[in-house]
Amino acid sequence: MSIRKIFEEELADLKTQLVEMCRLTEQMISDAITALVNRDRELGKSIGIMDKRVDEYEMAIEKKCMRILLKQQPVAKDFREVSTALKMITDIERFGDQAADIGDLVYTMPGDAYIKKLTHITAMGNLAVKMVRESVSSFINNDEALADEVIALDDQMDDMFLAVKTDLIELIKKDGRNGDQAIELMMVAKYLERIGDHAVNVAEWTKYNETGVHQKF
């Protein structure tokens, strides 16, 4: 097999692992929201276990990228793809961390009735899953337009976060006893909002991969 062919196979393998890692984090975010809505403490706890697998993926992909850099010394688009993957896994790993944090909250939260409907938080969860999937897809498919869409979606995420925050402040003002749960829901919303930010980072790296210019949005 030619050296070039070996390199292309290593790159393809790297991308497959990235997609698997990403799918895992999507499942974790989705499970975190389900656990929250259904008060499913066990499901919440299980997300932490999945997070260990995400960490393993991060280590494996990082090792693979470094091996490619060492052995192939890639340049141009090859170099951008490997360095993009190397940067991207840090953000993907954070997707997993945030989902695991929500899972932990669900596990430790007292079983009182919710002080508010979870409509916005559920919507934020769905949007987070969409942003995560599309940010990584944009890299895998060299789709700069999709990366732009992910970056644009973050405004919706921020708006919803603001709406949840405003609601929760009102609820605390109305009755101080709402405070404990309000803070926990606020944290859930913040974790989801952070997932959006990390998805934007991934999308920015996709744009770097396509254009050679790394720009912050």
Exposed, middle or buried, 112 (CB in 10 Å: 0-12/13-18/19+)?
exposed
Q: Does 4 bind another protein (CB under 8 A)?
A: yes
Q: Give the interface size with another protein as a residue count (CB under 8 A).
A: 14
Establish if 77 lies at the interface with another protein (CB under 8 A): yes
**What is the x/- site pattern for another protein, positions 6-45, by CB under 8 A?**
-x--------------------------------------
Taking each helix axis as running N to C, give the angle between helix 119-140 and helix 179-211, from 0 to 180 degrees, rounded to the nearest 10.
Answer: 20
CB of 118 to another protein, least distance (A): 45
Q: Are residues 49 and 24 in contact, defined by beta-carbon separation less than 8 angstroms? A: no
Task: Name which of 161, 116, 138 is nearest 208 in CA terms.
Answer: 138
Distance separating alpha carbons of residues 107 and 139, to the nearest angstrom: 34
- Give the nearer residue to another protein in terms of CB position, either 145 or 213: 213
Contact call for residues 186 and 142 (beta carbons, < 8 A): no
- Residue of the chain from 18, 26, 51, 80 that contacts another protein (CB under 8 A): 80
3-state secondary structure of 150: helix
Q: Is 3 in the site for another protein (CB under 8 A)?
A: yes
4 vs 67 by CB, closer to another protein: 4
Q: In angstroms, what is the C-alpha Rg of the chain?
A: 19
Q: Of the two residues 7 and 107, which places its CB atom closer to another protein in the complex? A: 7
Binder of another protein out of 1, 42, 70, 73 (CB under 8 A): 73
Name the nearest CA neighbour of 65 among 38, 90, 35, 100: 90
Give 113's DSSP letter: P
Piece of 27-35, 95-103, 129-137, 207-215 that binds another protein (CB under 8 A): 207-215
Q: Is position 76 an interface residue for another protein (rule: CB under 8 A)?
A: yes
Please say which residue, 86 or 124, places its beta carbon nearer to another protein: 86
Q: According to the binding rule CB under 8 A, does residue 211 interact with another protein? A: yes
C-alpha 166: how far from its chain's center?
Answer: 24
**Where on the chain is the footprint of another protein (CB under 8 A)?**
3-4, 7, 73-80, 211-213
